[in-house]
Amino acid sequence: MGSNLSVNKEIEEYIINHSLKLNSIQKEIISYNESLGDIKRMQISISQCHLLHLLIKTSKIKKVLEIGTFTGLSTLSMSLALPDDGLVIALDQNKKTNEVAVNFFKKAGQENKIKTIIKPALESLKDLKDTKQKFDFIFIDADKENNKNYFNQSLDLIDKDGLIIIDNVLWHGEVIDKAKQDKLTVAIREFNSYVNSDKRVENLIIPLGDGLTICRKL
Ligand SMILES: C[S@@+](CC[C@H](N)C(=O)[O-])C[C@H]1O[C@@H](n2cnc3c(N)ncnc32)[C@H](O)[C@@H]1O
């Protein structure tokens, strides 16, 4: 049976008003991002912060990898949900935004639980694999053209039942608009089909924020 629900701005606001609350530094990051203008759309949505929080809180997740830190909203949301001996390794190649993020992490008292690495993510992923690191949970939110590479590399960094979550998979709804044939939209569509036909995972796309895919490694 189909549903008539379209998650517009008002529904997203209703979700936020009837869900858990943000911590004061998460709010500060959001205000800071707003001051940056259009680039603020890079950050995950508030409802996505809460989903990451709940997934981590209700599991035995201790070690998280993030691909795409930006100014730190998703990183901090995950770190705050982790136990005291948890760790987030956060990858981004942008020194400037990373500096901003690290300041927020310190302000939130989370600097001991977050390690940032500033390099092209594919290089960092190779280093992590070479040093045989393993994670319980990987959040992919960087350059969308590389989603397939990040996804394949991530599968080597988690064990069975580990989670990989990918952001922006609905691409403002453009994935279903056949008139949209630009490179990025086509790449996201292809990526979604790739993940869904991959026998190494089972996946679900959920319409929170710009669309998240949740994959469990089989
Ligand atoms: C959508 S933003 C991440 C948003 C972040 N998750 C949040 O909630 O605020 C994407 C980030 O990926 C980074 N990025 C893009 N291409 C990259 C690459 N090849 N290697 C590492 N980082 C990259 C950008 O610098 C940017 O900060």
Ordered per-residue pLDDT tens for the chain, 218 residues: 556 777 788 988 999 999 999 999 999 999 999 999 999 999 999 999 999 999 999 999 999 999 999 999 999 999 999 999 999 999 999 999 999 999 999 999 999 999 999 999 999 999 999 999 999 999 999 999 999 999 999 999 999 999 999 999 999 999 999 999 999 999 999 999 999 999 999 999 999 999 999 999 99
Q: Which residues line ligand 1 (CB under 6 A)?
A: 42-44, 68-71, 73-74, 91-94, 97, 120-121, 141-143
**How many C-beta neighbours within 10 Å does residue 60 have?**
8
Element (H, E) at 91: strand 87-92
Q: What is the DSSP string of 129-158?
A: HHTT--EEEEEE-S-GGGHHHHHHHHHTSE
* Helix or strand run (H / E) with residue 114: strand 114-118
Give the pLDDT of residue 6.
79
Model pLDDT, residue 2: 58
Other CB atoms within 10 Å distance of the CB of residue 47: 21
The pLDDT score that the predictor gives to residue 1 is 54
Question: What is the pairing mode between strands 135-140 and 63-67?
Answer: parallel
How many Å lie between the centroid of ligand 1 and the Cα of residue 97?
9
Confidence at residue 9, expressed as pLDDT on a 0 to 100 scale: 86
Can you give the residue ranges of every domain in the chain? 9-217
Best CA proximity match to 63, nearest among 139, 166, 151, 167: 139
pLDDT at 3: 65
Candidate from 94, 122, 139, 149 with most ligand 1 atoms within 8 A of CB, to mutate: 94
Residue nearest to atom 14 of ligand 1 (CA): 142
The CATH number of the structural domain formed by 9-217 is 3.40.50.150
Q: Tell whether the torsion through CA atoms of 203, 11, 47 and 166 is positive or negative.
A: positive
pLDDT of residue 153: 98
Residue of 38, 43, 92, 125 best suited for mutating to test ligand 1, as the one with most atoms within 8 Å of CB: 92
Distance CA 155, CA 4 (A): 35
pLDDT for 5: 76
Distance separating alpha carbons of residues 175 and 111, to the nearest angstrom? 37
CA 90 to ligand 1 center in whole angstroms: 10
